[in-house]
Amino acid sequence: MNPFDLQDLSELTSDVLDRGEEQKLREFIDKIDLYLIVAESEGGNSFPDSVFGFVMGLMDSETFLTMEGSSKLLLVFETDWVRLSEDQKQKLLVSLGKAYARFKDPMSCFIASELLGQYYCNEDALSLLRQLKNTPSVTARAFVPHGFEHIARDATKPGLQKQAISELRSLLRDPSNEVQAEAAEALRKLSA
């Protein structure tokens, strides 16, 4: 990380978490993006553990979870998915499960559901989405069908596809009209 003079991670943690400086978070994410691009162009094919550890710490912080723009950090995982180790992916899965209902930025829930459905697209993701469909927040719950839709469309195991479709059908009975509409839209897309 030296090529970009990134702040010491502990100092950055203080700026972002203790002071709630959203601009510092955005600057850090931009630097991480640039760092990862340069590292990849130099033949680096792994996601740096120090950066990953910092991000996991952020995802456990109420200050971060309530920040608008928290979604931008999740986008880093989408763009650099192939560079995450299996261990990092497992830790991220657990972190997404803990953070999901606590995100205040609705776009974070959308990206989290996309990571689960499109990028993980496995039994563990399906199981986590099943848990998340019981999230009290209607806004957060309304993005769960998006994850199921990806699994139903993209899973290589037919049994997993069927389970995701069954979950979408069960969401048609959700108490929220918004969740019902999202589930219906996902089912419509799948049948088209």
Residues of the chain with CATH 1.25.10: 106-192
How does pLDDT run across 31-89, given as a tens digit for each residue?
777 777 766 666 667 888 877 887 888 888 888 888 888 898 899 899 889 989 999 99
Report the pLDDT value the prediction gives residue 2, as an integer from 0 to 100: 44
**Which two structure tokens, joined as six digits, stand for 81?**
């998915």
pLDDT grade for 126, boundaries at 50, 70 and 90 = very high
State in words which class domain 106-192 has: mainly alpha
pLDDT grade for 188, boundaries at 50, 70 and 90 = very high
CA neighbor of 168 nearest in space, from 144, 140, 192, 134: 144
Report the pLDDT value the prediction gives residue 3, as an integer from 0 to 100: 43
Residue 116 neighbours by CB distance under 10 Å: 29
- For residues 142 and 157, the model is more confident at 142
Crossing angle of helices 144-154 and 106-114, in 10° steps, is: 20
**Per-residue pLDDT at 141 exceeds 80:** yes
Report the pLDDT value the prediction gives residue 22, as an integer from 0 to 100: 72
pTM here?
0.87
Answer for the pair 148, 172: CB distance below 8 angstroms, yes or no: no
**Per-residue pLDDT at 186 exceeds 60:** yes
φ, ψ of residue 165 in degrees (nearest 5): -65, -40
Answer for the pair 114, 78: CB distance below 8 angstroms, yes or no: yes
How does pLDDT run across 87-108, given as a tens digit for each residue?
999 999 999 999 999 999 999 9
Mean pLDDT for 160-173 is 97
Report the pLDDT value the prediction gives residue 23, as an integer from 0 to 100: 75
Write the single-letter amino acid at 44: G
Answer for the pair 121, 137: CB distance below 8 angstroms, yes or no: no
Averaged pLDDT score across all residues of the chain: 87
- For residues 144 and 66, the model is more confident at 144
Report the pLDDT value the prediction gives residue 20, as an integer from 0 to 100: 64
Mean pLDDT for 12-33 is 70
- For residues 25 and 114, the model is more confident at 114
